[in-house]
Amino acid sequence: MKSALAADTAHNNDFQEIQKIVELQRNSFISDGYPSAKTRIDRLDRLIAMLRSNKQKLAATLKSDYSARSHFDSVVFDILVPIESLKYCRKNTAKWMKPEKRGAKFPLNLLGADAHVFYQPMGVVGIVAPWNFPIQLTFSPLGNAISAGNRAIIKPSELTPETSALLEELFKADFSPEEISVVNGGPDVAAAFTAQAFDHLVFTGAPSVAKHVMRAAAENLVPLTLELGGKCPVIIGEGADIKSAVERIFTFKTMNAGQICLAPDYTFVQAEVLPQFIECAKNFVAENFGTLADNDDYGSIINERHRARIAGYIQEAMSKGYQTIPLSDDIGLDKLAHNHKLAPTLVIDPSNDCKIMSDEIFGPAMPIKTYTNINDVAAHINRGERPLALYYFGKSKSEINMLKHNTTSGGMVVNDIAAHVLQDTMPLGGVGHSGMGSYHGFDGFRQLSHGKGYYKQGLLSLTPFFKAPHTDKMLSLLEKMMG
């Protein structure tokens, strides 16, 4: 009973401390008034400068948090990619702020009526960042929040403690707490964070955790952007270049050891090309990595719990008699001495009741499902939860159009993997189990703004037509005009 009381007290203390920051930012937001383009761009400039000047420090903390992580991947995907997104926001902020003209109804439009949408900042935006790309997935939504004129409070992941601590230090140095603040801590702090009365909350993470976030946000009717994940399928279709497809698939399946929300989760391959697919996958790992245990380009699973979870998926499939093919033999499933590394492993035609086919893998294991009819592939995808992305390799326009129109996913990419994430002109977001809302570019600006409808009446008002006393003559006139 005493420990439960202590836990409640700690939670209340966490809640109150975070609430003070929310109130500080909201009061500042109100007192400062509508933020100019100059103010927003200054904040974006400081974010860009922060990443540029601390590139090596941030990459070092990422490597420390992971035990082993590719320096190249950390710099490119956790630092350079968000810099590009921030630069795009900086370039377009003034344009996005302009009112969006909407046409007033005839004949009011001829008599001076003005109808437009004004994008107004929401206020205080909460951002819950994940551990897999803790910098990119902080700064990408943050750039949209700042471009839209908001203040922001960030909750980094406790699974990357050194990176999270460094981010808190850097933001304290470069931003006032009224502009951007960082709140660090474990699950209790995260629970207190998501219970705040934010004006918008962005969460990136697992669907299972997102359900708790939604419940907490519902208490204050906080609007949400949820960037989740799911089992992103790959289809090797008619006319596909198998070698090229395998290279692109396994570049992302091995990047960050497959711990990417947009990583390919499982692949459909026609039975006749399966041997070639397997051979190309083996060659890819051999040619690009050689051995994995001491290879700095091949990273670790974030911790032993997640490594054991993924290894368990493979072991379950093996115990049920399904063929498993490790693409490197220097790291076994039971070897814990290599910084939580796990070899890329193919699992051939596992049944749908295997956990590797029901759970999001979020690691380097890859189930391969053979098929004969593309319609059966679409049916399989549609029976499951809607994924964050769907990938197709091939040249068949009919297959592409069928998948485009008859499956539902957050995004779809043809002949590449995750290429849409680099397109700032496009929204990035999930649907159903893989999320709601989107960010990136103008779509992110709009997501983190309130589109206020503004209407100014011209010379003529319709109100006199509606006032009492009501007559049959007026009703007849309105029926002719409106019916």
Q: Which residues are catalytic?
A: 227, 261
**196 contact partners, CB below 8 Å, separation of at least 6:** 15, 18, 19, 22, 126, 153, 220, 222
Q: Using an 8 Å Cβ cutoff, are 224 and 199 in contact?
A: no
Q: Tokens 């202590």 sit at which residue?
A: 6
Total length of the chain = 483
As a whole number of angstroms, the distance between CA 193 and CA 339 comes to 31
Q: Using an 8 Å Cβ cutoff, are 231 and 256 in contact?
A: no
Q: Using an 8 Å Cβ cutoff, are 160 and 69 in contact?
A: no
**Cis geometry, peptide bond prior to residue 107 (ω within 30 degrees of 0):** yes
What 3-state DSSP class applies to 231? coil
Q: Give the up-direction half-sphere exposure of residue 455: CA atoms within 13 A in the CB hemisphere.
A: 8
For residues 160-173, one letter each, b for 16 or more C-beta atoms within 10 angstroms of the residue's C-beta and e for the rest, the string is: bbbbbebbbebbee
Q: Using an 8 Å Cβ cutoff, are 94 and 171 in contact?
A: no
Query: 422, 381, 437, 429: which is closest to 404 by C-alpha?
Result: 381
Please name the helix (run of DSSP H) or strand (run of DSSP E) that holds residue 189, with its range, or none: helix 187-194
**229 contact partners, CB below 8 Å, separation of at least 6:** 206, 207, 261, 262, 360, 362, 388, 430, 434
Ordered DSSP codes for 90-103: HHHHHHHHS-EEEP
What 3-state DSSP class applies to 41? helix
**Cis geometry, peptide bond prior to residue 264 (ω within 30 degrees of 0):** no
As a whole number of angstroms, the distance between CA 362 and CA 380 comes to 20
- The first and second tokens of residue 293, run together, are 């245990």
